[in-house]
Structure 1
């Protein structure tokens, strides 16, 4: 047998196998359609891009925090006699109870945006005690990560009782927040 004859038999065998597979697939799936095999070049008409340059007369801001991030948004000043002051966009609160430590970031209207607590099992299982200095430090790490994930880079942390600021747990919490990348004071508002 010559090499050419062998090649022809293999080629015929392959085409037979392919035809059988095609027939089987056509029987299984009636929705199969073949595309046109003719090569036809269609030219698309040129798109007029001048309408993209027109600016809409009414602008709708779809990012409500945009003014805060540019430090142009108004801060509610409230009354001078209120404590803690309400002059912030986001305030960080740390509450230590008898058994747990909780941290919140809240807006000036009182809505809690981000929170973390040693009551959460994901945090609690890594701690020896859910209320000590180590718990506050780890809570600061978790809180800074959650703040950055939520897009909050600046928070106000002046809302604690002044004599508690010297406590070791609060200082470790502050240090962990700053090491995590969150600035614990908000930028000054730009007045126009």
Structure 2
């Protein structure tokens, strides 16, 4: 019985993580299109620009932006990899097409459902508030970061000591990745500009 309860709690946490990620993407779309002054309902420019790599770097940056009230309790499995931090459960969901509204297939990002039908009733108002606050804080740090190409975001994440130390450990252990300590991410000097 205890195993079943624990498995259920894990699924619930993962579901919340996946929904929170899609909510962040929803907000990123609005931010990106506002910065670019786009009114195209197809969201073609967003879909072309927001690759898997770019989204994963933005996720790391938005997750750590609010000191004392960050998103690292939700997105808690960042691994230091060659191109910067990657949230492993989000990456796995991308590869295995586990999202409700969006998919990252091969090198293409597309909507599973029309953008105007996306709804997030299953996220609590507290969850949305926390996510909105992180987006607003990232915007305040650098309102243009949403327009940066993926490799510029990679360069920014490579400035973080928490990534550098974990990636160095991965290389020393002859591994391709190493779990990043959430407390080290929280304590790190944070970078949001080129």
Fold-level similarity (TM above 0.5): no
Larger radius of gyration: 1
**Please, what TM-score do these two structures have when normalized by structure 1?**
0.28
- The structure with the largest helix share of the pair is 2
**Please, what TM-score do these two structures have when normalized by structure 2?**
0.28
